[in-house]
Structure 1
Amino acid sequence: MAQSITSVVHSELVIRKSRFLGCVQPIADRAAARAVVASLRAAHPAANHVCWALLAGGQSAAVDDGEPSGTAGRPMLEVLRHQDLEGVLATVVRYFGGIKLGAGGLVRAYTDCVAQALKDVAKVPLVRMKTLCCVASYALEGVVRREIDASGGLLQQVQHGERVAFVFALAENAAAALVARLGEISHGQIAWIADTIE
Structure 2
Amino acid sequence: MPVTLAIAAEYREEIRKSRFIAQAVPIEHPGEVAGWLERLGDRAASHNCWAWKVGAQCRFSDDGEPGGTAGRPILAAIEGQDCDQVLVLVTRWYGGIQLGTGGLARAYGGSANKCLQTAERRELLQLTRCSCQCGFAELPLLKARLAQFQAQLEGERFDATGAELSLALPAEQIAGLARVLADISRGRAQLRLG
TM-score bracket relative to the smaller structure: 0.7 to 0.9
Q: 1:159 to 1:54 in 2, by over 3 A?
A: same
Alignment match, 1:29:
29
Letter matched to residue 149 of structure 2: S
Cα deviation per residue 1:56-98 (whole Å; 9 max; x = unaligned)? Answer: 2433111111111111100000110011111111011111111
Q: 1:137 to 1:105 in 2, by over 3 A?
A: closer
Q: SS of the residue aligned with 1:103?
A: helix
Letter matched to residue 7 of structure 2: S
Among 33, 46, 49, which residue is 2:47 paired with? Answer: 49
- Within a 5 Å distance, the mapping from 1:5-16 to structure 2 comes to 5-16=5-16
Query: More displaced, 20-29 or 140-149?
Result: 140-149
Query: More displaced, 178-187 or 66-75?
Result: 178-187
Alignment match, 2:149:
151
Q: Percent identity?
A: 30
Letter matched to residue 26 of structure 2: P
8 Å CA contact retained: 1:153, 1:168: no
8 Å CA contact retained: 1:24, 1:118: yes
Q: SS of the residue aligned with 2:122?
A: strand
Distance 1:111 1:142 in 2: 49
Q: 1:131 to 1:97 in 2, by over 3 A?
A: same
Distance 2:181 2:160 in 1: 20
Q: SS of the residue aligned with 1:119?
A: helix
Alignment match, 2:20:
20
Give 1:177 shift: 3.1
Give 1:106 shift: 0.7
Distance 1:35 1:48 in 2: 20
Alignment match, 1:116:
114
Letter matched to residue 28 of structure 1: E
User: Aligned pairs, how many?
Assistant: 191
Any unmatched runs of 5+ in structure 1? none
TM-score, normalised via structure 2 length: 0.83
Q: Between Structure 1 and Structure 2, whose CA radius of gyration is higher? A: 1
Q: 1:30 to 1:136 in 2, by over 3 A?
A: closer
Letter matched to residue 189 of structure 1: R
Letter matched to residue 14 of structure 1: E
Q: 1:68 to 1:189 in 2, by over 3 A?
A: same
TM-score, normalised via structure 1 length: 0.81
Give 1:137 shift: 7.3
Alignment match, 1:70:
68
Q: 1:38 to 1:143 in 2, by over 3 A?
A: closer
Q: 1:149 to 1:29 in 2, by over 3 A?
A: closer
Alignment match, 2:175:
176
Task: Name the Cα RMSD after superposition.
Answer: 2.6
Distance 2:36 2:136 in 1: 47
Distance 1:158 1:59 in 2: 28
Distance 2:117 2:84 in 1: 16
Query: More displaced, 124-133 or 68-77?
Result: 124-133
